[in-house]
A and B are shown apart, each in its own frame.
Chain A
Amino acid sequence: MSDAAVAVIRQVRRERADRAGTFTITIDGGCCEGTAPHLYENYVVPAGAIEIGRVDDVPVFIPGNLGEQYATASVTIDVVDDPLSDAMSLESDLGKRLVFRPGP
């Protein structure tokens, strides 16, 4: 996790502090943008997902079917400017987008 990504996640949590939600990062994808991290409030984690780490107290999950591929990989979550993201990940309201990069 890059320092910039941690800062953005903390900012999202501050801006939503008046709500009672819990936060989760899930790395998954499909059509349109490839596998990417999504920061959600009150997310129901799919069965079989594997927790691969935490940012503060926010758990980071990957789906079970990708567990084997990512078991040995090191994963970095970074953040970029992206004012037009449709991923519904919470940091997109700040014109930012978390991105997922293999490697440290």
Chain B
Amino acid sequence: MKEFGLFINGKWEAAEGGKTADTINPATEAPWAKVAVASRNDVKKAVAAAKKSFDSGVWRKKSKEERAKVLESIAAAIMERAEELAAAEARDGGGTIRKASFMDVPGTAGTFQEFARVLRASEEEQVFEETVPVPSKNIIRAEPIGVCAGIVPWNFPMIMASWKIAPAIAAGNSIVLKPASVTPVTALMIADICKSAGVPDGVVNVVSGPGAEVGEELATNADVGKIAFTGSTEVGRRIMQLASGTIKKVTLELGGKSPNIILDDADLDTAAMGALFGTFMHQGQICESGTRVLVPQKLYDTFIDKMIAGSKRITIGDTMDMMTTMGPLVSAAQLKTVGGYVDAGKSEGAECVLGGDRPANMKKGYYFNPTIFAGVNNKMRIAQEEIFGPVVAMIPYKTEEEAISIANDSMYGLGGAVWSKNKDRALGVARQIQTGTVWINDYHMISPRFPFGGYKQSGVGRELGPWGLAAYQEIKHIHVGESVPADQKIYFGALFN
């Protein structure tokens, strides 16, 4: 069995008291790696190492070009170790090897690559010459914040690690990242790759550890200047409250119950496949999954039939088989949660027209069948709460206005889509949807070039692209005045006679 420590100050360290935990392969229910479990003191040690590296200037004082080259080296090293990383990601989180190979690994490398480009294109200093009220030069500088903390979830462990590490170090910060306790392995491997690619010791630290104390330490430690969290809305709310003690910069990417609106002039065959792709990709364990599919009443039954037919092309099986397109849920706990929501949907009067149970052919693993609920109204729990499993709620609507109103009737505002052959009409709808991302005739097309984040209780701030880099920077204004006699500074007259 593989073993991993905590990655602190460029070295593998044992946790305080030698504490470890097994990480379970969700497809086999068997442990496959042993990982050190951090205590509050271990987190303090990681923050201290990050602070020391930041204060020393060993990374932040490097030029943009030097930092960009290191980010590119990280991207190249990730692709060199693609096979190993993909296998680890599939074993740790239960995603398919197909997804890990074609999405997770290139997505992670692509994030580092893109932030190298964004960094080069960014302006560290802008200069403005002013004449009023006195001649002055005004320098606007983008500077790193200091020590950043990142907390990431278990659904995309490696990509989520890159979304925090890449912009943090591009901007010149040091970072302490806490991966999800059930999927810590690839984030630890990425930290090791960062070191090999030239990131100085202490700049990237990764500590795995569950519990309130570890999270509380990251969100309250006075030496942490910024915390970036991806995960549940409730935990995000808690982190924001804890971070208020020391007024940390906070970015949050939280839950969703995203609307996927099928307009009556959509290509129904493609839209039905898109609705399946939008909800069942990675077993529905994606924050911006289109879990509320809004369908015109007159097309409702036809559309559901097309989705049921399309679902036959989803292959549940061994995650390490390249032909498998759907793996297990991440954990026994998640399996129980999803089962509970299926029961809730039935008891609220929705009709389960596909799935709702576990696949009979899988003897081991936390597998759950793709599940479609018909007859759903937007007030039901299965339409309001995020399930994070392969469960889609089909909601009928009568008019376009009603569809928009249902789409926006949610505490969340993360993603969504509109399907129509008429792009102008779809755009008109997209502009009225209160979410951070809207796809037209597509789903899950997240790009590191473009901002990602949530309206309403789906988050604060944006990740990726130049917007994502800015979230890891402080902005400083330096006013350069003239050294002239005091009587020439006429505004001094406000105080002096």
Q: CB within 8 Å of B: which residues of A?
A: 26, 28-36, 38, 40, 43-44, 46, 63, 65-66, 68-69, 80, 82-90, 92-93, 97, 99, 101-102
Fill in one digit per residue for B62-94: 1 if any A CB lies within 8 Å of its CB, else 0: 000000000000000000000000000000000
Are the CB atoms of A84 and B182 closer together than 8 Å?
Answer: yes
| Distance between Cα atoms of A84 and B331 in the complex (Å) | 11
| Contacts known (A83-B21, A93-B211); A31 close to B344, Cβ less than 8 A | no
List, sorted by A's number, 24 A–B pairs whose CB atoms are closer than 8 Å: A29-B232, A29-B233, A29-B234, A29-B386, A30-B231, A30-B233, A31-B230, A31-B287, A32-B255, A32-B287, A34-B337, A34-B386, A38-B234, A38-B238, A43-B238, A46-B237, A66-B381, A69-B379, A84-B210, A86-B231, A88-B212, A88-B238, A92-B210, A102-B344
Contact for B379 among A68, A86, A101, CB less than 8 A = A68
Are the CB atoms of B333 and A82 closer together than 8 Å?
Answer: yes
| Contacts known (A84-B181, A88-B216, A92-B211); A30 close to B254, Cβ less than 8 A | yes
Is B387 interfacial (CB 8 A cutoff)? Answer: yes
Nearest-neighbour CB distance to chain A for B446, whole angstroms, equals 15
Are the CB atoms of B241 and A43 closer together than 8 Å?
Answer: yes
| Distance between Cα atoms of A93 and B211 in the complex (Å) | 5
The 5 closest A-B pairs by CB, nearest first: A30-B255, A30-B233, A31-B255, A84-B181, A30-B232
Residues of B within 8 A of A35 (CB): 381, 385
| Contacts known (A40-B238, A88-B216, A93-B213); A32 close to B340, Cβ less than 8 A | no
| Distance between Cα atoms of A97 and B182 in the complex (Å) | 14
| Distance between Cα atoms of A69 and B382 in the complex (Å) | 10
Fill in one digit per residue for B239-271: 1 if any A CB lies within 8 Å of its CB, else 0: 101000000000000111000000000000000
- CB neighbors of A among B297-311 (8 A): none
| Distance between Cα atoms of A31 and B238 in the complex (Å) | 14
| Contacts known (A68-B379, A88-B216, A89-B212); A34 close to B254, Cβ less than 8 A | no
- CB neighbors of A among B222-236 (8 A): 230-236
Contact for B387 among A34, A66, A68, CB less than 8 A = A34
Q: CB within 8 Å of A: which residues of B?
A: 21, 151, 153-155, 180-182, 210-213, 215-216, 230-239, 241, 254-256, 287, 333-334, 336-338, 340-341, 343-344, 347, 379-381, 384-388, 411-412, 457
Are the CB atoms of A87 and B241 closer together than 8 Å?
Answer: no
Are the CB atoms of B153 and A65 closer together than 8 Å?
Answer: no
| Distance between Cα atoms of A84 and B179 in the complex (Å) | 11
| Contacts known (A29-B233, A86-B181, A88-B216); A34 close to B211, Cβ less than 8 A | no
Chain A residue at smallest Cβ distance from B237: A46
Nearest-neighbour CB distance to chain A for B177, whole angstroms, equals 13
| Distance between Cα atoms of A80 and B333 in the complex (Å) | 10
Are the CB atoms of A88 and B235 closer together than 8 Å?
Answer: yes
Chain B residue at smallest Cβ distance from A69: B381
| Distance between Cα atoms of A95 and B241 in the complex (Å) | 23
| Distance between Cα atoms of A76 and B121 in the complex (Å) | 54
Residues of A within 8 A of B457 (CB): 30
| Contacts known (A43-B241, A87-B232, A101-B340); A30 close to B210, Cβ less than 8 A | no
Contact for A86 among B210, B287, B343, CB less than 8 A = B210
| Distance between Cα atoms of A32 and B235 in the complex (Å) | 10
| Distance between Cα atoms of A43 and B211 in the complex (Å) | 17
Chain B residue at smallest Cβ distance from A39: B212
Contact for A31 among B241, B254, B336, CB less than 8 A = B254
Chain A residue at smallest Cβ distance from B184: A84
Are the CB atoms of B234 and A30 closer together than 8 Å?
Answer: yes
Residues of A within 8 A of B232 (CB): 29-33, 87
Contact for A33 among B213, B215, B230, B334, CB less than 8 A = B334
| Distance between Cα atoms of A30 and B289 in the complex (Å) | 12
| Distance between Cα atoms of A82 and B387 in the complex (Å) | 19
B151, B153, B213, B235: most-surrounded residue (chain A CB, <10 A):
B235
Are the CB atoms of A33 and B333 closer together than 8 Å?
Answer: yes
Contact for B234 among A26, A44, A68, A80, CB less than 8 A = A26
Chain B residue at smallest Cβ distance from A42: B241
Nearest-neighbour CB distance to chain B for A44, whole angstroms, equals 5
Are the CB atoms of B385 and A66 closer together than 8 Å?
Answer: yes
Chain B residue at smallest Cβ distance from A38: B234
| Distance between Cα atoms of A90 and B212 in the complex (Å) | 5
Nearest-neighbour CB distance to chain A for B47, whole angstroms, equals 17
Residues of A within 8 A of B384 (CB): 65-66, 69
Nearest-neighbour CB distance to chain B for A33, whole angstroms, equals 6
Chain A residue at smallest Cβ distance from B412: A30
Are the CB atoms of A30 and B238 closer together than 8 Å?
Answer: no
Nearest-neighbour CB distance to chain B for A53, whole angstroms, equals 18
Nearest-neighbour CB distance to chain B for A26, whole angstroms, equals 7
Residues of B within 8 A of A101 (CB): 340
